[in-house]
Amino acid sequence: MILRKRKAGSIGLNLTSMIDVVFLLLIYFMVATEFRTAEESFPMDLPIRNHGQSLMLDREPLVILVESTGQGQHDVRLRLEGPWDPLPSVDALFAFLRSNLAEGIGSSGLFTQAHPILIRPTPQTRWDHTLTIYNTAAKAKYTNITLDEPS
Amino acid sequence: MARLGQGVSAINANMTPMIDVTFLLIVFFVVVSQIVDRDVVPMDLPAPEQAVSGISEEADRIVVNLVPTAGGEIASIVVAGHAIGWDEMDSLTAIVKSRIQSGASEVHLRADKATTYNHIHGAIEAIRAVGTTPRLQLVVNGDQP
């Protein structure tokens, strides 16, 4: 029997179709990918309304009245309900809250960390201004912050 | 001049590095891509300076999206895959209540930074009307300006 000698050839894998699919997948994911911005949040206990009920004097909340005056981060008018000096800015509010926070024995602060802070925006106050004030109170280490009905 | 004794050889590009890089890119996009997140409606969230907000848990949450219009109004409310009218607060209460009864433990409120407080307050009151609601999470943009 005569065996015909075969010519030695290289065994190659046809990669064309795989590359086609891989590129399709790549293009799909590049188009469909959406880099979501990181979201954070402020936890807030839902407000308890005290219509017609008296409050304990030492738990009377500190009410911060908020009104937007523009679209900028600091375009906001602030006022504290009660016998307090006017607050010209958000920074002044932070300074007020920090200076009146009672931290430890011997502190001259008027409010404890758990003292209720009530933020009362006007109906037309922008949400970012409301949260700026919320953040200011939280940054001053107060823990009992609530949003009130619009004034 | 043709040389005798030499066969015609095919010229092949070496595809190995390209396939390596392409697979790496695919793995990267598969990992980072977020194909569908029906809970989240794109909007311009508030971004307070030096925010002391925390990263919120994504498990067992109800996301209430107040979809904004120009001028601080809200066009609709998107919650748990339902789109309801901005004035259908009873529906909002009912949806949140049913989700809480089925195991959700947190309510995330997402609103555009220009939305006015009267609309936000309406939504908060509707959520409060559920009665057994745990803490509300006020969502902000975590990227510091």
Distance between CA A126 and CA A76 in Å, rounded?
A: 9
Q: Is the dihedral angle over the CA atoms B132, B134, B137, B138 positive or is it negative?
A: positive
Length of chain A: 151
Taking residues B138-142, report their average pLDDT: 88
Pick from B22, B56, B120: which is nearest to A127 by CB? B120
> From the CA of B61, how many Å to the nearest CA of chain A?
13
Taking residues A112-127, report their average pLDDT: 91
CB contact under 8 A, B47 and A45: no
Length of chain B: 145
With contacts defined as CB-CB under 8 Å, which chain A residues touch B45? 37, 39
To test the contact with chain B by mutation, choose from A45, A117, A128, A147 the residue with the greatest count of B C-beta atoms within 10 A, namely: A128
Cα–Cα distances in angstroms (integers) from residue A87 to residues A79, A151, B70, B94, in the given order? 6, 18, 30, 41
pLDDT, tens digit, 9 for 90 and up, residues B1-43: 445 555 566 777 787 888 888 888 888 887 776 655 667 788 8
CB contact under 8 A, B72 and A124: yes
CB contact under 8 A, A131 and B140: yes
B36 touches B54 (CB < 8 A): no
Residue A138: strand, helix, or coil: helix
What pLDDT is attached to residue B25? 86
Neighbouring CB atoms inside 10 A of A121's CB total 27
Straight-line distance from the first to the last Cα atom of chain A, in angstroms, rounded to the nearest whole number: 107
What pLDDT is attached to residue B2? 47
A29 touches B26 (CB < 8 A): yes
With contacts defined as CB-CB under 8 Å, which chain B residues touch A39? 40, 45, 56, 110, 139-142
> From the CA of A78, how many Å to the nearest CA of chain B?
15
Pick from A34, A47, A135: which is nearest to B52 by CB? A135
The helix (run of H) or strand (run of E) holding residue A79 is strand A76-80
CB contact under 8 A, A39 and B139: yes
What pLDDT is attached to residue B66? 92
- What is the ipTM for the molecules in this complex? 0.75
With contacts defined as CB-CB under 8 Å, which chain B residues touch A131? 46, 48, 138, 140
Query: How far is Cα of residue A131 from the mean position of the Cα atoms in its chain?
Result: 7
Q: Which two tokens stand for residue B125?
A: 């009151």
pLDDT, tens digit, 9 for 90 and up, residues A9-56: 667 777 778 888 888 888 888 887 766 667 888 888 876 665 545 445
